[in-house]
Structure 1
Amino acid sequence: MENWMDYFKPYIVDRGCSLFLDDAVQGLQKTSDGYNAHVIGGQVYEVEISFEHGQLVSMWCECPYAQEMNHCKHMAAVLFAISELDSHPALEGKDVSLAQLLDKLTVEQLRAVVLELAQEDRELANRLQLRFSSQLTSQQVENVKKEIRDLGLPFEDRRMGYIEYRQTRDYERAVTKAMAQYLQPLLDRCEYANFLAISDAFYHQICRQELDDSNGTTGSLLYRLAGYWQHLVTVAPDKIVQELLDWCLEQLSGYEVAEDLLMEFVETEFQEKYFLEQKLTYFQAVLQAIEGGDKSSWSWKFRRDRFALLCYRLLVQLGSSEADLLTFQANHWEVAGLRKLAIAQAVANQHLDRAVHLLQESKRLDAQYRGLVSDYSQQLRDIYRSQGQDDKVREELLEMIFSAGDTDLELVEELRDYVSREE
Structure 2
Amino acid sequence: MSQFLVEYPPNRSHACDAPLARGSDGVLRYGNLTPALTELLDLQVHAFSTREAVVEIGGPRLSYRDLWRSASRIAGGLQEHGIGYGDRVAIHMPTGARWVQAFLGALLSGAVPVLVHDGLPDAVAARVIADSSTDFVLDCGSDADLPDGAAFIDDGAALSDLALLCYTSGAGVCPANAATPKGVELTNENLLSAIRSVVTALDLPTDGLRNLLLLPLAHASGCVDQLLPTFAVGGTVVLAPGGRRLAETIVSERIDMVSATPRIFARLLPELAELRTEGLRTDGVVRISTAGHRAAAPTDPVQRAATVRDMFPAARQWSVWGATETSGIGLVVDDDTDTAPGADPVLGFPFGGTELALWGPQAQAGHGELLCRGPNVTRRYWNDPKTTADRFTGSWFHTGDQVSIDADGLVRRGHAQAG
Q: State the TM bucket, normalised to the shorter chain.
A: under 0.3
Query: 1 or 2 for the larger relative contact order (CA 8 Å, sep ≥6)?
Result: 2
Relative to total residues, which structure has the larger strand share, 1 or 2? 2
Relative to total residues, which structure has the larger helix share, 1 or 2? 1
Q: TM-score, normalised by structure 1?
A: 0.24
Q: TM-score, normalised by structure 2?
A: 0.24
Computing the radius of gyration from Cα coordinates, the structure with the larger value is 1
